Structure 1
Amino acid sequence: MSRPTDTKARIHAVARALFMQQGVQQTSLRQIADQLGITKPALYYHFDSREALVASMFQPLLADMEAHLAALEAAPPSDPRVLLGQHFDLLSRHRDLIVMLVRDFSILTELDLVARMFAWRHRLMTLLVGPAPSVEARVRAVVAIGGMADTAVEFPDVPMDRIKPTAIEAACAALGLPPAPRPPVRAAAKRPRRAT
């Protein structure tokens, strides 16, 4: 017999696929139940509304983002390149949810996420450019953070580990940071000449 957590994971997977395909507002709990091969009351046992299902799917992202920012704020100031790399890793872990948000803005309203996302960005900006930056520094930070996040959505079929180095360098360039030093190129070992 499957455990409740297994069933919830299956519900999340089917709902995610349908939400990505046709949007949250156009997907009913009946469609999700039919795809799962269960009755609607069985689905209601786990989620009493579509809103509760969506909130449950996004809870890991919300908790992860809050914990991520709190840990960064509690730690000594970090190198911006390291901080951006850690933030990119968080975006990578929740890429499918971020793509879903961008494809269906109704989720932002449904979960009351707009103010929360602006607050997250402002906290990250403070970590990158300090508590009282110039307008120019704030603009650079917005471009860096937003542009890096957009790569997760713009290139859905490209592995995130391939995108990461370029995204971080582009974000650092937007912040006005110098390029990362390149590792020295090792010269090829010379082959000894053969005696003729």
Structure 2
Amino acid sequence: MAKPSGTKQRIMQTARELFATKGVQQTSLQEIADRLGITKPALYYHFSSREDLVRSIVTPLLDDGERFLERMEARGDVPPLELIEGFFDFHHRHRRDMLLLLTEMTTLAELGLVDMVLAWRARLTRLVFGDAPTLEQEARAVLAFGGMQDCTMQFPDAPFDELRAATVTAARAALGLN
């Protein structure tokens, strides 16, 4: 995927800020254009709709997550600790946009993105527990991987190394891997 132009990047950054403050549905494209000092047609040159703008913000996150999972699945013998640490690193890297994902579930469901994120958890569960996990193992995986995601957003000011160590330890405990 090509890196967006300077104007496109500015639009995406301003949209992130307004979406985080007001919510996606309460933020108009006109407000974004006004904040940037551009016309609405100039904004439409880069994004055909609010949904297109939201998708452009979350697509790099989704692409990165998909690449991570594909790498882990291709190996087939990933030690659980490496998988957990890699999953934490992915979420920490994208925590700002992940927060947008979680606060705008309705919008994202309409875009078909929620199903992808939920499918990731099932794939992670299979990587840890194999192709036929028990209900208890599936529940442990939901708690572990969902909790890791939450930790990256809940503690934004925590030092990276401390947060990573605490989160990975808690995820291993939830998965029963201590």
Deviation at 1:4, TM superposition (A): 6.4
From the two aligned structures, give the one with the greater helix fraction: 2
In structure 2, what residue type is equivalent to 1:140?
R
Equivalenced residue count is: 176
Taking structure 1 as the reference length, what is the TM-score of the superposition? 0.84
Deviation at 1:150, TM superposition (A): 1.0
Query: Percent of aligned pairs with the same residue?
Result: 50
Change (3 A) 1:102 1:95: same
Paired residues of 1:125 and 1:138 also in contact (CA < 8 A): yes
Q: Which residue of 1 aligns with 2:102?
A: 102
- Alignment map for 1:24-173 (pairs within 5 Å): 24-173=24-173
Deviation at 1:65, TM superposition (A): 1.2
For each residue in 1:98-147, what CA deviation from the matched residue of structure 2 results, as whole angstroms up to 9, or x when unmatched? 11122222232232122212211100110011111222222211111111
Which structure is richer in relative contact order (CA contacts within 8 A, separation 6 or more)? Answer: 2
For each residue in 1:33-63, what CA deviation from the matched residue of structure 2 results, as whole angstroms up to 9, or x when unmatched? 0110111111111011111111111110111
Paired residues of 2:58 and 2:101 also in contact (CA < 8 A): no
RMSD value, Cα: 1.6
For each residue in 1:145-165, what CA deviation from the matched residue of structure 2 results, as whole angstroms up to 9, or x when unmatched? 111111122223334443111
In structure 2, what residue type is equivalent to 1:167?
T
Q: Which has the larger radius of gyration?
A: 1
| Distance in 1 (alpha carbons) for counterparts of 2:53 and 2:100 | 14
After the TM superposition, which of the residue ranges 130-139 and 67-76 deviates more from structure 2? 130-139
Q: Which residue of 2 aligns with 1:186?
A: none
Gaps of 5+ in 2: none
| Distance in 2 (alpha carbons) for counterparts of 1:138 and 1:4 | 38
| Distance in 2 (alpha carbons) for counterparts of 1:111 and 1:92 | 23
Taking structure 2 as the reference length, what is the TM-score of the superposition? 0.93
